[in-house]
Structures are given as C-alpha cells and as structure tokens.
Amino acid sequence: MPDTTLQTVPSPPPLTSFSEDEILFRDNIRQFAEEKIRPRVKEMDEQGVFNKQLIQEFFQLGLMGIEIPEKFGGGGGKFFDAILAVEEFSRVDASAGVIVDVQNTLVNNALLRWGTEEQKKYYLPKMATEMVGAYALSEAGSGSDAFALQTKAELKGQDYVLNGRKLWITNAKEAGLFILFATIDPGASYKGITAFIIEKDCRGFTVGKKEDKLGIRASSTCELILEDCRVPKSNVLGDAGKGYKIAIETLNEGRIGIGAQMAGVARGAWEYAAKYAQERKQFGKTIAEFQGIQFQLAQMATEIEAARLMVYNAARMKDAGMNFVKEAAMAKLFCSQVAERVTSLAIEIYGGYGFTKDYPVEKYWRDSKIGKIYEGTSNMQLATIAKLLLSGK
C-alpha cells in the first residue's frame, strides 16, 4: 500500500487576534487529531462506523461540553473554542468534526439557552461527560421548508404523545439525548412547532436504519421513528409552540460550525496536495516547480484563508453578543464552496492516484459535498443573505 502519512505543511494562523490560551487549545486539539484520529480515519470511513473509544476520549478531553459551565462539569469555554475544535478535527476527519460540532453548537447551545434550571442541572453534566446529543428537525417532506414537518405531539394528561418520523439525523446511533421538533397544532403552521428533550430509551422511540452515504461515512445519519412515544411535559424545551424560534436561532449558530468543518476539510486536502506536488516528478522536476501547479496551490490557499477568517469573524461576533446571522450564512455558503473547489483540485494535482481510495484526497472531496446541503442548503443561505442585505439590516 502507498504511504499516506502526512507531515504537516506549515499553516500559520490567520492574522486575527488569538489569545495564548486559544493557541494552546488549538495546538493540543491538532496534536490529538494527528495522533489519535488520523490513524483510524481510513478504517472508520470504510466501515461506516465511528470508533467508540475516540468518542470516550472526546469526553475525557472536555470537547463534548466546551461551553457548558464548570458548575455543570463542562469546560466553561467560548463558542470560538468549539469552532477551533471543529476545524482542527475536520482537517483530519470531517466525521469527527461533525460529532463535536452537533454536540456543542446545536444540542448544548439549545439546552444552555432555553433549558429550565432543572433541565440544565439534570442534562448538562451528562452532556459534558458521557452523553452524545442529536438534533432532530428534518423529515421526508420538510427539508429547506423546515416548518412543514408532520411529526405530531398531542397532550394527554401530564405527557405529550408523539407520532411521526425524522430523517437525516446526525449522531443518531451514538446519541443518548435528542432535541426533537414536533407540532402540537398542525393548523398553526410554525406557531405549533415545539421542541422536546427525548432520551434514547424513551418508550415508543426507535432509531431506524443508518444511511449509506457518499461522505462523512463514519458519522451516523439515521431515521427516527416515534410510535405513541410518551414525553413528560417537563421535557418541553422552551415554551410550547415556540420551537420555531429555537430551531432558527440554534441553526444560525450551527452554520458557523459547518463553516469551520468545511474550512478544516479544505485545509486537510490542501496540505496533502502541497506535499504531493513537492514529491511527484514529471519531466525531470517536481510538479510544484511548474507555475501552473504553483498558481493552483496559491489560489487554493488564498480561498482557504478567506474562508477561515469568515468563520472566525462570525464566531467572534457570536461570543460578543452581536447580530451574526448574515455573517454565519456567508461563512457557511463560502466555506462549502471553497471546500468543494479545493478538494476537487487536490484530486487533480494527484492525477490518477487521486481518483483511487489508496490515497486520501478523494475522501476529502466526498466529505466536502455535504457542506452545501445540511444545516441549510446554499440556496437557503443566499436567500438569507439577500433578505438581510436588501432590508438594510
């Protein structure tokens, strides 16, 4: 088998303000990704299963509860820290990046922002130390039209009884907790949407088949089946009928995470391409000595740098309490475009080798494609950006 190990091409951080703690955190995550994740990437991708021991180590390192306050067993960190973790993991494996991303930017953020004190005390220590979370919004008939969902919740005594199906749920196989959206009034459109906290062992709740995907194959993506699933009223997240607000605002944050994932994917592919270009010889010299290859690598690196800065800017704005919706949409849109372009060019730089599974760059290309689809398609990001720009906001 060919040697696919990677000696990292130097990649200095962008010219943005990093504290010493952030640099140390980032470097530690990068080292862990190189030493513990990279050796398992190929096997996990081929088997379509994420290594359980790695997830346990994510918890041990505090990476599954980065923003959870220390009093609940979390790291008490910033949103920006979570973004750095997602980027560095995705540089090695996008599946690892999305596990940490969904946990921190969607599930934990939803609990932190809308959970009652009782819910926080009960669930946040679990999320920080042992329990994987999943975010269940999509259905067969509600993708971009998220609030067309058909899963129903009927109040019966002190419980809601839920019936329906969810599709494309990331982390579903590993998750012990689900933030799940259903409607308590199908005739009320988005005003009936309600968010529920559902544990995996809840009666009437089943995790269905795992999808056989093009990319991020080690990340589980499954359907959820609810058949007379009884959920206590106390497990409503936020107010009944206000789930649409939770969904919209949480996904705004999650889009920064997907931007970080795609920036990491692009970086990983570029580093392999740059290394290979300095080793592969044609016409008596390395292909990196040809101006055509040099220009491609320079253009790729420039776009990656711009993508990272957009992600960092949006994350900093979120931490500062600023309105970041437009910046989040722009970051996700641009980073997914960059990831697809860069990974495709990386395959071309490898030539015929790049088209085989013996070399790593084809996986980066496969992993990049989802960036334009989940947590809001590129067209939906464009619609959001245009609406905000043209409204003068």
Q: For residues 383 and 249, state if they share a domain.
A: yes
**Which of the residues 67, 88, 303, 375 is marked catalytic?**
375
Q: For residues 122 and 144, state if they share a domain.
A: no
Q: Is residue 1 part of a domain?
A: no
Q: Judge whether 327 and 316 are in contact, CB under 8 Å.
A: no
Mean of all residue pLDDT scores within the chain: 95
Give the model confidence (pLDDT) of 292-346 as tens digits.
Answer: 999 999 999 999 999 999 999 999 999 999 999 999 999 999 999 999 999 999 9
Round to whole Å and give the CA distance between 355 and 52. 30
Q: For residues 105 and 219, state if they share a domain.
A: no
Q: Judge whether 108 and 67 are in contact, CB under 8 Å.
A: yes
Q: For residues 26 and 98, state if they share a domain.
A: yes
Q: Judge whether 268 and 261 are in contact, CB under 8 Å.
A: no
Q: What pLDDT sits at residue 393?
A: 60
Angle between helices 94-101 and 79-92 (to 10 degrees): 160
Q: Which domain holds residue 192?
A: 134-241
| CATH number of 88's domain | 1.10.540.10
Round to whole Å and give the CA distance between 364 and 24. 26
Domain boundary among 209, 241, 273: 241
Whether 211 sits among the annotated catalytic residues: the reply is no
Q: For residues 33 and 67, state if they share a domain.
A: yes
* Rounded average pLDDT over 182-192: 94
Q: Judge whether 194 and 153 are in contact, CB under 8 Å.
A: yes
Beta-strand relationship, 175-183 and 132-136: parallel
Domain boundary among 186, 208, 241: 241
* Rounded average pLDDT over 101-113: 98
Count of the separate structural domains present in the chain: 3
Q: Is residue 3 part of a domain?
A: no
Q: Is residue 9 part of a domain?
A: no
97 CB neighbour count, 10 Å cutoff = 31
Give the model confidence (pLDDT) of 188-203 as tens digits.
Answer: 999 999 999 999 999 9
Q: For residues 187 and 273, state if they share a domain.
A: no
Q: Judge whether 130 and 74 are in contact, CB under 8 Å.
A: no
Q: For residues 95 and 227, state if they share a domain.
A: no
Q: What pLDDT sits at residue 10?
A: 46
DSSP letter assigned to residue 322: -
Q: For residues 254 and 338, state if they share a domain.
A: yes
Q: Is residue 145 part of a domain?
A: yes
CA atoms within 13 A on the CB side of 5: 5
Give the model confidence (pLDDT) of 22-63 as tens digits.
Answer: 999 999 999 999 999 999 999 999 999 999 999 999 999 999
Q: For residues 157 and 37, state if they share a domain.
A: no
Token pair of 179, please? Answer: 């933030």
Q: For residues 170 and 191, state if they share a domain.
A: yes
DSSP code string of 220-242: -EEEEEEEEEEEEGGGEESSTT-
Q: For residues 237 and 252, state if they share a domain.
A: no
Q: For residues 48 and 158, state if they share a domain.
A: no
Domain boundary among 98, 132, 166: 132
| CATH number of 290's domain | 1.20.140.10
